[in-house]
Amino acid sequence: MSRQAEFRRTTKETDVYVKLNLDGGGNAKLDYPIGFMKHMLNTFAKHGLFDIEVQAAGDLDVDQHHLVEDTGITMGQCFIKALGDKQGIVRCGFCLFPMDETLARAAADVSGRGFLVFEAGLTGTPLVSGGFSFQTDTVADFWQGFASAAGLTLHLDVLRGRSDHHKIEALFKAAARSLRDAVAISPRAKDALPTTKGFFEKPLAVIV
Domains and CATH numbers, the chain: 4-183 (3.30.230.40)
Torsion-angle region of 207 (φ positive above 0: left; ψ -120 to 50: alpha; else: beta): alpha
Distance CA 58, CA 68 (A): 9
Q: What is the pLDDT of residues 144-176, one digit of tens each?
A: 999 999 999 999 999 999 999 999 999 999 999
Q: What is the pLDDT of residues 25-46, one digit of tens each?
A: 999 999 999 999 999 999 999 9
* pLDDT at residue 180 greater than cutoff 50: yes
* H or E element in which residue 107 lies: strand 102-109
Q: Are 157 and 105 in contact (CB under 8 A)?
A: yes
Q: What is the pLDDT of residues 91-118, one digit of tens each?
A: 999 999 999 999 999 999 999 999 999 9
Q: Are 202 and 69 in contact (CB under 8 A)?
A: no
